[in-house]
Amino acid sequence: MIDLYEKGERRVAVVEEARRWKEAGMITAEQAAAVAERYRPELVRVNLFIRILLAVFTVVGVVALVAMPAVTLKVEETGLTLLCLIFAPLCAWVADHELIAGRRLYRCGAEEALLLLAVGMLALAVAIPAHDWGHDTERLAALTAHMIFLAGAILLTVRYGYALMAFGAMLALAGLPFHLADILHWQQPHLTRLVLLLMLGAAAIWSQRRLGRRDSLHRGYVWSLETVRISALAGIYLDVNLFAHRLLWREWLGWTPGESLFSWSDDICALLTAILPVASLAMGIGRRDRALLWFGVVSAILSILTLKYYVHLGHLPEELTAAGLLVVGLAFGLLRWLRAGSKRCRGAFTAEPLLEPRLYGLDAEALAAIQPLAPEPRMSQPKGFQPGGGTFGGGGASGGY
């Protein structure tokens, strides 16, 4: 990661976390302001919505800027390639040198859009001229453009720690087996699936291992690795879930079941569809890993909804009703069990919101529920606020922190 972000990102992280502490009622507004002052980042940041607007209009502006000479000079494929080759490094230079190094922009939308456009234009510069050079050359050029996009997205992730670029890289990686199949004339869709599965599996294992040292990593890298891991797991799940598998492979891609290369693939799919959510949940609980827990819960619900593709315990309505009752009962039981524990905790786990995002429309109990866990704010304190526990002794820690 570039030096500017390495130094500045820690400060940004502290200021942003302090805002969460304030929103969770753990510190006062004065304390949050003091933290913001002490850790004032030198990087320029903007609000998320302004970031979106800046990104959108940067794209509009740059596309218009490239299109203007193309239309005025009525250029053909070669001219357009030349324009892309001129504008791609220009965009990258403006973003890196002028906006990031010069104006110290940090995830402001404009510089992200420019870097993405640079990569996109470089890929287009390879793909466009091959249009008239015959079918094989065209396909080869498309694969090269694909590889350029993948390499560019990885480079941007490594250099700037952009999680969105990591997601782009994962999409490009997932598309690679299809492109290879097209170039190498693979007639068996199962082979494409196998390559996809192996690639995604490797990405998931690699990111999981890297995340083991998350405390020593920069925030941008942690987000990027999380993106890689969850995208890879989601890809694997979509590949092995028979419902998605049949929808994607048999209906969208027109593959007929008769061409099956591996007779056991459906059984493996069924097994993995059951194992993936359970393993994610177990690992999420064991390692206290929120991303894995979310993936586990969502994939478990999806597996229940697509249960009929694997086992037939009865009719679908009865299965779904029973599964729904089971899930609701389990969630409700866990909530009550966790809340009945000492200080509303069971070991390290609590059902109370701590620093969790408050999902819109469902946060009514958030502040009330936090009070038994929150320590007394240091500075001013609203009248009537009586925290239930000034010190913490649960979860094996001593109360003498």
Partner 1 sequence: MQEALNDLESSEILSREQAALLRRIYGRELFSVHWELRLLLYGGILILTTGLGLLVAEHFASIGHLTLLAAIALGCVACFAYCLRHGGGFSPESLATPDAAYDYVLLLGCLLLGTLQGYLELRYQFLDQYWNWWLLASALIYLLCAHYFDNRLVLSLGLSTLGAWLGVKTSHLGTGLWDGALRDSALFFGALVIAAGTAQTRLGWKRHFLPVHLHLGVNVLLTALVAGVGSRAAGSAYLAGLLLTGSGSAFYALRERSFAFLLYAVLYGYVGITIFMLDLGHWSSEGIIFYFLVSAATLLTTLVALHRRFGSAE
- Residue number with CB closer to partner 1 (93 or 294): 294
Are 43 and 12 within 8 A, CB to CB?
Answer: yes
- Of the ranges 62-70, 122-130, 158-166, 221-229, which one interacts with partner 1 (CB under 8 A)? 62-70
Are 161 and 111 within 8 A, CB to CB?
Answer: no
Q: Per the structure block, which two tokens stand in for 324?
A: 């729904």
359 binds partner 1 (CB under 8 A): yes
29 binds partner 1 (CB under 8 A): no
Where is 269: in which H helix or E strand? helix 265-287
What residues between 175 and 234 interact with partner 1 by CB under 8 A? Answer: 215
How far apart are CB 276 and partner 1 at their closest, in Å? 16
- Gyration radius of the chain over CA positions: 26
211-231: b (≥16 Cβ within 10 Å) or e? beeeeebebbbbbbbbbbbbb
- Residue number with CB closer to partner 1 (191 or 242): 242
Among 5, 8, 58, 245, binds partner 1 (CB under 8 A): 58
How far apart are CB 397 and partner 1 at their closest, in Å? 6
Cα–Cα distance for residue pair 151/77, rounded to 1 Å: 24
The one-letter amino acid at 258: G
How far apart are CB 230 and partner 1 at their closest, in Å? 15
Q: Is 346 helix (H, G, I), strand (E, B) or coil?
A: strand
How far apart are CB 280 and partner 1 at their closest, in Å? 12
Length in residues, the chain: 401
How far apart are CB 203 and partner 1 at their closest, in Å? 24
- Of the ranges 137-145, 198-206, 231-239, 372-380, which one interacts with partner 1 (CB under 8 A)? 372-380
How far apart are CB 278 and partner 1 at their closest, in Å? 14
172 binds partner 1 (CB under 8 A): no
374 binds partner 1 (CB under 8 A): yes
- Of the ranges 34-42, 76-84, 172-180, 268-276, which one interacts with partner 1 (CB under 8 A)? 34-42
What residues between 131 and 160 interact with partner 1 by CB under 8 A? Answer: none
Number of helical H runs and strand E runs in the chain: 14, 2
* Alpha-carbon torsion (45, 49, 52, 55), positive or negative: negative
Are 237 and 292 within 8 A, CB to CB?
Answer: no
326 binds partner 1 (CB under 8 A): yes
340 binds partner 1 (CB under 8 A): no
- Residue number with CB closer to partner 1 (19 or 250): 19
How many residues sit close enough to partner 1 to count as binding (CB under 8 A)? 102
Planar angle of CA 56, 58, 62, nearest 5 degrees? 125
325 binds partner 1 (CB under 8 A): yes
268 binds partner 1 (CB under 8 A): no
105 φ/ψ angles, rounded to the nearest 5 degrees:
-75, 140
- Residue number with CB closer to partner 1 (253 or 330): 330
What residues between 70 and 129 interact with partner 1 by CB under 8 A? Answer: 71-72, 110
Nearest CA to 219 out of 167, 162, 164 is that of: 162
39 binds partner 1 (CB under 8 A): yes
93 φ/ψ angles, rounded to the nearest 5 degrees:
-65, -45
Among 2, 57, 78, 247, binds partner 1 (CB under 8 A): 57
Are 349 and 373 within 8 A, CB to CB?
Answer: no
Planar angle of CA 233, 236, 240, nearest 5 degrees? 140
Q: Is 345 helix (H, G, I), strand (E, B) or coil?
A: strand
What residues between 284 and 323 interact with partner 1 by CB under 8 A? Answer: 288, 290, 293-294, 297-298, 301, 304-305, 315-323
How far apart are CB 354 and partner 1 at their closest, in Å? 4
